[in-house]
Amino acid sequence: MAQDKLTVATQGDREVVFTRAFAASRQMVFDCMTKPDLVKRWLLGPPGWTMPVCEIDLRVGGKWRYAMVTPDGTEVAFHGYYVEIVPDELVVAKEIYEGAEDFSEEELNTQRFEDAGEGRVSEASLARGGPPRVREPRAMVAPAPDRCGGNCARLRPGP
């Protein structure tokens, strides 16, 4: 699944918006964000990372948890629960990062899936809440550029 360049912007000091467009149907992009077998193929860090845990109970009130493991054995994990779901259009979920004290507050994440024309779908994610965000949006992406921008290529058909 090909994707356009990721754009990142802040809204105040507690909101970050990630936007990207994909050459795929809205249903496919939604599925890639909500089905464990697809999430495990793209939501990874740099080469060598694994995702032994990808649990998704996709319903309002349902819980989810992702746990990735770095080559040195460090676990990077997130969990939360779903607040609102509109198939192929919207996912609103609470999220907590399990590994850092300054990110231990719940954050509200909203993902919208909209037609972008020319057979493309735009996916915009708004992260809201938690600790005050870094004011420079590129700093939000710098530690994990593959997760935020490049790994969707792993969803292309083939071996």
Q: Which helix (H) or strand (E) holds 97?
A: strand 90-97
Among residues 70, 64, 69, 67, the alpha carbon closest in space to that of 33 is found at: 64
H or E segment and range at residue 145? helix 145-145
Sign of the Cα torsion 75, 155, 62, 54 reads: negative
Residue 35 is encoded by which pair of tokens? 């089905």
Cα 9–10–12 angle (5° rounding)? 160
Show pLDDT as tens, one digit a residue, over the chain (159 residues). Answer: 555 667 777 777 777 777 888 888 888 888 988 999 999 888 877 888 999 999 999 999 999 999 999 999 999 899 999 999 999 999 999 988 887 655 557 888 888 888 887 777 777 666 666 555 444 444 444 444 444 444 555 555 444
Please list, in sequence order, all residues whose beta carbon lies within 8 angstroms of the beta carbon of residue 11, skipping any fewer than 6 positions away: 17, 126
What is the reported pLDDT for 136?
Answer: 46
pLDDT at 155: 53
Domains of the chain (ranges; CATH) run 7-151 (3.30.530.20)
3-state secondary structure 48-95: CCEEEEEEECCCCCCEEEEEEECCCCCEEEEEEEEEEEECCCEEEEEE
Q: Nearest 5°: phi and psi at 40?
A: -65, -20
Supply the pLDDT for residue 45: 76
- Supply the pTM of this predicted model: 0.77
